[in-house]
Chains A and B, each alone.
Chain A
Amino acid sequence: MSASLQIPGFLRDVTGDASVVTVNGSTVGECLGDFVDRFPDAKARLFDKNGNLLTYIDVFVNGKSAYPEELARPVASGDELSLLFLIAGG
């Protein structure tokens, strides 16, 4: 099952400036796992040492936040995933 992951500016250096990457998986967790397998430098920017999604990252599926299910949120073929920093500013 493949979905498209929109790459935000803060990960573009990892993907060689690619703005969209096709990822495989049936949940958000599997899709992001596939992504970091192919782009290992992204792992520390998305997950903590225990493999949990960082508290300041929100994942959107078709424009809707995956919170609170997050990594367990199902993903269908053709879905569009995107990422956002949750920090509110300074």
Chain B
Amino acid sequence: MKGNSGKFLRINLSSGKVATETIPEQVAQDFVGGRGFACYYLYRELTPHIDPLGEQNKMIVATGPLAGTSAQAVSRWLVYTKSPLTGALARSVAGADFGAWMRFAGYDFLIIEGKAEKPVYLLLNSNSCQTKPADELWGKDTWKTQEWLSQRHGDNVRTACIGPAGEKLVKYACIVSHRRTAGRCGTGAVMGSKNLKAIVIDAQRNIQLHDPEAFKQVVKEQIDLMQATKGYHHHSEYGTTDTSDITNGLGIFPVRNFRFGRQNGHEKLSAEEYRKFRTGDFGCYSCSSKCGKAHQVTSGTYAGAWSEGPEYETIWAFRGPTDNTNIEATIAADQLCDDLGLDTISTGNIIGFAYELYEKGILTKQDTDGLELTYGNHAAMIALVKKIALREGIGNLLAEGSKKAAATIGKGAEDYAMQAKGLEFPAYEPRGAKSLGFNYATSNIGGSHSYGYAAQEVFGRAFPRAVDRFAEVENADVVVFNQHQRAMLELGVCCSFNAMFGWVPQVYHKMLLAATGIEQLADANYVWKVAERILNMERAFIVREGFRRKDDTLPQRMLTEPLHTNGAPGEGQMVRNLEAFLDKYYEIRGWTAEGIPSPQKLNELGLGFVTKDMVD
């Protein structure tokens, strides 16, 4: 099986044992690669109900069959594990070069299990995997860690590592490679719990394809189609820095802990304003769009702050929740999160949660180590980022995630935790983009936009059909479609931005076919079938952990409080028909009324072996 290497590396940190194992041909056909392999092996490998931060949890770090090739924007990598933040599935996806380097080393994925006695890092290439002491690295931030490893092992290595937040088991710590992060669900805390500081890959370009000539032709087709779109050129110019211009206009830019859908004064915080701080463009392996926009602050309180970003989610995370209007502070917060190893989305969301509790008097100055959490106070926001990463003072409480922190605080704080299944909401208001909201509710990882992004609602895309963004039950099919679409793209593992530039429907399956030789891929519909298989496998994972219909929900605020949009469309919107939506969604999926995949559906997808775990 070319394209895929057909093998993975099992690394046991407790015993030090390393073994190369083969991926059975049938598994390769059924799951294709990337997210398909990750979800299949995590389900098969993990004992239910284990402690996510215990020795029994495992991490799967996977890349896809297109990584490292000349194809554009398909070298992403992902991490699957049981989430310490939610107790559900963790899926976390990142860019930069690391996915390509995994392919060069010859592995489709790594299974990392056990726990090292002392801090270590892994150094692997195509012939060996060594466990090395990381005492000198423990405590270093992610940038200094990568610098140290490059000095030690040469500039040709690529590294994925954790920062102090991962070491201290902050429940939403991330994994960082260069300045790109596998951000969501606390995968960095799992890595920290294993005393694993970094994974370093030293490899030379080495790609084998099933049909190199056909692949070359398909890549040419991809590039021609992509470059003919205005979207590609726009994305190259702005990245996602101007998404907030759109979401504010639509009234779906969440402000003050999801009470308002538009930030007052947003016109002065546009992409053109961010552009004044821009210093360069960065891209992932073999991606010419270079959507990473670096910004630097040269004067004032935050002089010296620099980040490869902030991109849209981070711009929101450090503006919307605290109603901050200081651009420099968003750049500084982004840098801090990347250096310390924090998910910017959960971090910003939780800080907004704390600000509202302070406003309501549920938290006082005595609780906040003297910080005044008043809207617009960006200095306090920056202070909280550091406190969370280092678990200092109130940061220790907030490091547990909004759901657990709210339960600890009590006094009604639960009503102000904007999360689904424990994963904090990102930068889209569920009441103004309801398919996105229902995706948060039904996602198997919790409140993630990228689990089933509703481009129909945000950008007006009429694919597979146009939608009314305030409709509910009527859009259940679109929520299913969006979740499948993302799983389909993550077989590659393909960038979700670049995938919008017109080439995917005609090219993607042909690209996978030429790379892997999996004959079923000749049928353009096959990738959609694999995507449905993945969604059902992931659902089975959380059902086995005890998740049911009651967990497919949204905070009370979404169900009972009208949205205020400061003049944008959508004033007064609420989610009114969650239960009816779930009925329809489960019906389309072939699941029971409790949200459990039915035996018929599992058999239809070739997942009959999962049925025994699906107890109603």
Known contacts: A9-B457, A13-B569, A83-B460. The answer to whether A88 contacts B468 by CB under 8 A is no
Determine if A67 and B230 form an interchain contact, defined as CB atoms under 8 angstroms apart. Answer: yes
B453 contacts which chain A residues (CB < 8 A)? 89
Within 8 Å by CB of A90, from B237, B249, B449, lies B449
A81, chain B: closest CB distance, angstroms: 13
Name the interface residues of B226-257: CB closer than 8 Å to any CB of A. 228-231, 234-235, 237-238, 240, 242-243, 245-247, 249-250
Tally of chain A residues near chain B (CB < 8 A): 22
Tell me if B460 and A89 are in contact (CB < 8 A): no
Q: How far is the CA of A83 from the CA of B220 in the complex (A)?
A: 28
B194 to chain A, nearest CB (A): 31
- Complex: A37 Cα to B569 Cα, angstroms: 21
Chain A residues with Cβ below 8 Å from B449 are 89-90
Task: Please tell me if the beta carbons of A56 and B234 are within 8 angstroms of each other in the complex.
Answer: yes
Rounded to whole angstroms, the CA-CA distance of A2 and B457 in the bound complex is 28
Asked if B460 contacts A87 (CB within 8 A), the reply is: no
Which residues of the partner chain A approach B497 to less than 8 Å between Cβ atoms? 88-89
Mark out the residues of chain A between 41 and 90 whose CB falls within 8 Å of any chain B CB in the assembled complex. Answer: 45, 55-56, 58, 65, 67-68, 70, 82-90
Known: A55-B234, A55-B238, A67-B229. A89 touches B569 (CB 8 A): no
The answer for the CA separation of A67 and B449 in the assembled complex, in Å, is 29
- The distance from the CB of A89 to the nearest CB of chain B, in whole angstroms, is 6
* A88 near B461: Cβ-Cβ < 8 Å: no
Instruction: Tell whether A89 pairs with B461 under 8 Å between CB atoms, given A10-B250, A58-B230, A65-B230.
Output: no
Q: Is B459 an interface residue (CB 8 A)?
A: yes
Q: Determine the distance from Cα of A90 to Cα of B457 in the docked complex, in whole angstroms.
A: 13
Which A residue sits closest to B497, measured CB to CB? A88
Tell whether A12 is near chain B: CB-to-CB under 8 Å: yes
Q: Which of A10, A58, A87 contacts B243 (CB 8 A)?
A: A87
B316, CB-defined interface residue at 8 Å: yes
Roughly how many angstroms separate A83 CA and B460 CA in the complex, as a whole number? 8
Q: How far is the CA of A82 from the CA of B428 in the complex (A)?
A: 24
**Distance, CA A82 to CA B462, complexed state (A):** 10
Could you tell me if A87 and B457 are in contact, using CB atoms closer than 8 angstroms? no
- Asked if A29 is at the interface (CB within 8 A of a chain B CB), the reply is no
A87 touches B246 (CB 8 A): yes
- CA of A56 to CA of B455, assembled, Å: 14
CB of A44, distance to nearest CB on chain B (Å): 9
In Å, the complex CA distance between A70 and B233 comes to: 14
- B492-545 interface (Cβ within 8 A of A): 496-498, 500-501
**Quick check: B459 and A84 within 8 Å, CB to CB?**
yes
Counting CB contacts under 8 A, is B313 at the interface? yes
Q: Is the CB of A88 within 8 A of B231?
A: yes
In whole Å, how far is A39's beta carbon from the nearest beta carbon of chain B? 14
Cβ contact of A85, chosen from B237, B238, B246, cutoff 8 A: B246
Contacts of A25 in B (CB 8 A): none
Nearest B residue to A87 via CB reads: B243
A63 to B, closest residue via Cβ: B462
Contact with B along A24-39 (1 / 0, CB 8 A): 0000000000000000
**Chain B contacts of A86 at CB under 8 A?**
230-231, 234-235, 459
A24 to B: closest C-beta gap in Å: 23
Cβ contact within 8 Å between A88 and B235: yes
Interfacial chain B residues near A88, Cβ < 8 Å = 231, 235, 240, 291, 496-498, 500-501
Q: Are A90 and B230 within 8 A (Cβ)? A: no
Q: Is B312 positioned at the interface, with any CB of A under 8 Å from its CB?
A: yes
**Considering only CB atoms, which chain B residue lies closest to A53 in the complex?**
B230
Output the least CB separation between B44 and chain A (Å).
Answer: 32
- Residues 458-479 (chain B) with a chain A CB within 8 angstroms: 458-462, 466-469
Interface membership of B96, Cβ < 8 A: no
What 7 new A-B contacts, CB under 8 Å, besides A45-B249, A86-B231?
A: A56-B234, A67-B228, A67-B230, A68-B230, A88-B231, A90-B247, A90-B311
Question: Can you spell out 27 A-B residue pairs with CB atoms less than 8 angstroms apart?
Answer: A8-B466, A9-B466, A9-B468, A9-B469, A10-B250, A56-B242, A65-B228, A65-B230, A67-B228, A83-B460, A84-B459, A84-B460, A87-B234, A87-B240, A87-B242, A87-B458, A88-B231, A88-B498, A88-B501, A89-B243, A89-B449, A89-B450, A89-B497, A90-B240, A90-B316, A90-B427, A90-B449
B binding-site residues for A, Cβ under 8 Å: 228-231, 234-235, 237-238, 240, 242-243, 245-247, 249-250, 291, 311-313, 316, 426-428, 449-450, 453, 455, 457-462, 466-469, 496-498, 500-501, 569
Q: Closest 8 CB pairs between A and B?
A: A90-B312, A8-B460, A88-B497, A85-B459, A67-B230, A86-B231, A13-B569, A90-B243
